[in-house]
Structure 1
Amino acid sequence: MKFKYLKPVFENNENEWMTSIEVFNYFDKDGYKWSKNAKGLQGHKDIIARDLSQRYKSKLEVDKSSRPQKYRLKNFNSDIKNNKDNYEVIDEISIDLDIDNKPEIQDIMIKTESNEKNLEEAKKEITEDEFQLDVKNLLFEEYNRPLKGNRKDIKKRRNTPRNTDYEKMAKRNKIKGDLGEKAVIIMEENKLKSCGREDLNVQWVSKDKGDGLGYDIESWKKLGKEFVKCFIEVKTTTGDINTPFDISDKEIFVSKELGDKYLIYRLFGIEKVIRKINYYIIEGDVESQFDLEPTSFKAYLKKLT
């Protein structure tokens, strides 16, 4: 395959990291006419994998820490539209979320003569906060939980000063979390539909009732011929399968109370435009499945004697 056909795939995806399968799906959905020498679906997939990993490796960056490994263009520059009066416009940046209080579509205009640095900061902030769930083309792939633990021994804690924008980080995590929960709602409804049990409701309780219950979603799982209610906590990350996550004491307590009815859906490798959900499931008491490390405390005044 010629590189001129591959390049637009990454450009149209804002040069986000993509696996060879995700690139293949783009061409397959678009009705690309494959070479007659490559027979069958696997043959077409092999063409993409070979071209990305070998033929065009000098033109692509490779993330080998990801499994499967991912690719993106080298020296990618997104085009910014120019308008009159020496302004630069970042046009129609939106977050496509089916949740309450979603941001409005906005145009951001920054004068270039004196604010070039501010423009770059604004572009970076928008890029980091923009996530979209492609509901029509959404795919799901379940993985086995990693067999090896992912806890790193910390011999000495470093007191390194960091400038952290906690408000921005919390906003971004909320967006990712809501998207992850929405995706799991879709997945659970599809599962029940495929079993002929559309009569069983999936409830997004963290949205309808608040997030203090210790779980996000009430759904159903099949045990033999019966369906029993289950309680799902969704944890979403842009990191890989081994990325740890935060969990509250309430979630830990509820997991112990509910036992095997409590499920953690760990979503990982989330990208800006989400067309595929990679996930694994952990069932039961959290403390029996994870090494837990306290990262924050609540401080109460001691009684003076």
Structure 2
Amino acid sequence: MPQLSLLKSPAAVQAAMDEFSHLGRVAFLKRYGFGKSKDYMVRNPRTGEPCDSKAIVGVAFGKQFPNQGALAAEDFSGGEMTVVPLLQTLGFVVMRVGEDWTEAEVQSTVTDYFEMLRLEAAGVAYNKSGHNETLRKQLRGRSKASVELKHQNISAVLNGMGLPFIQGYKPRGNSQLLLRKVVQDYVFRHSAEVSKIVDGLEEVKSPAQKSYSAVLVESPVMEERQRLVASTRSRPRLPRKFDYAARDEANRKLGRLGEDWVIGYEQHRLTLIGHPELFQSLEWISDTQGDGAGYDILSFESDVLHRYIEVKTTNGGIASPFIVSHNELEFSAEAGEQFYLYRVFQLSGEPKLFILRGDLSSQLYLKPLDYRASFREHFK
């Protein structure tokens, strides 16, 4: 232990952390014979990267005293009584592994997330890794992966509020209560900014991509239901202008562009299956008869079987929620395997498509949104 007390050079500690960053965690620990820290990490002030505290101290000793070399893991004990106060005395930030994020950290992360979402809505290119690196310098030694997870948690909160989220950060639940609170507060305090984001993502543009090759992708799978922990905080009541799925549904111009795109896709598909002549009999039902049929386009599966297509369109990503009417749900059950829901997403950029076939009630989590009110009860 007396050897450890001789370490008094912040520059030596920084040199050890620089080597840690250069080699990577696994290679650094292997080179010097240390295991991963179970309790404490020290933050590299230059990169924001968390480093294994005991290994850094052992290697730093060798940086300060090159003639003696680095201390081995068995030469000293790590932890709260030795390594932690030494590093803190030398001016470094030490954090406990798995320590909850502070409110300041969460607010910085949420602000950064909305900045990226604003750029995405404006169609401005940005670098997620660059944002991650810059943000970590404001945090308490969080890793790149932990910041990415927090961004995914934010996506999950926004998705639960019916709002758009960054497409590169797939929603992941189990976020801390503080994060949900900060996201909700941000939405209400910056309502004008959020409205502009939604407007930007909903802006109706003709699809940039004209080719129908490779546009069909696998549909998302139904995730396992998660039991939510009851919260004393009431569910946020968002103004209708923030309801992204409802605004998609109400945007008739967006819907018509999506249906028009699907008609082009159907011409491509029918040609591929060897029935280009069937395209002449395709009917745009919502255009010729209006809404209410339970589907938008009458196409063909073969020369004897129809394909009833309901189109749902968004400028958002594959996981964007959408609205299914009671009529459409009933028709999907009645038509069975001849019913196809075409979900067109990323319409204004490079449109993609996934298809749900048959009864929708077995393929989606459905949540009732509205009720028809009257003073007389009607039965089927």
**TM-score between the two structures when normalised by the length of structure 2:** 0.43
Unmatched segments (≥5 aa) in structure 1 = 1-10, 19-51, 71-119
How many correspondences in the alignment? 204
Q: What is the alpha-carbon root mean square deviation over aligned residues?
A: 4.3
The one of 303, 306, 309 equivalent to 1:229 is: 306
* Counterpart in the other structure of 2:343: 266
Cα gap change, 1:238 to 1:129, in 2 (>3 Å): closer
Q: Tell me whether 1:15 sits opposite 2:123 in the alignment.
A: yes
1:221 to partner: Cα distance = 1.8
* In 2: Cα distance, 1:238 partner to 1:261 partner: 27
Higher RCO, 1 vs 2 (CA within 8 Å, ≥6 residues apart): 1
SS at match of 2:305: strand
Q: Tell me whether 1:144 sits opposite 2:252 in the alignment.
A: no
* Counterpart in the other structure of 1:209: 289
1:135 to partner: Cα distance = 6.7
Q: Deviations over 1:258-295 (max 9, x none)?
A: 11000111122x25x33x22221111111222222211
Q: Tell me whether 1:163 sits opposite 2:271 in the alignment.
A: no
SS at match of 2:351: strand
1:211 to partner: Cα distance = 1.0
Equivalent residues of 1:216, 1:233 under 8 A apart: yes
The one of 268, 293, 296 equivalent to 2:367 is: 293
Identity of aligned residues (%): 27
Matches within 5 A, 1:24-43: none
Bigger Cα displacement from structure 2, 123-132 vs 287-296: 123-132
AA partner of residue 184 (structure 1): V
Q: Tell me whether 1:182 sits opposite 2:255 in the alignment.
A: no
* In 1: Cα distance, 2:317 partner to 2:225 partner: 14
Cα gap change, 1:294 to 1:254, in 2 (>3 Å): same
AA partner of residue 240 (structure 2): T
Equivalent residues of 2:248, 2:254 under 8 A apart: no
SS at match of 2:291: coil
Look at both structures and tell me which one has the larger radius of gyration over its CA atoms. 2
Matches within 5 A, 1:84-95: none
SS at match of 2:253: helix
Unmatched segments (≥5 aa) in structure 2 = 1-118, 135-147, 156-164, 170-192
Q: Deviations over 1:36-75 (max 9, x none)?
A: xxxxxxxxxxxxxxxx67799989xx997799849xxxxx
Q: Tell me whether 1:240 sits opposite 2:323 in the alignment.
A: no
Q: Tell me whether 1:218 sits opposite 2:298 in the alignment.
A: yes
SS at match of 1:264: strand
**TM-score between the two structures when normalised by the length of structure 1:** 0.52
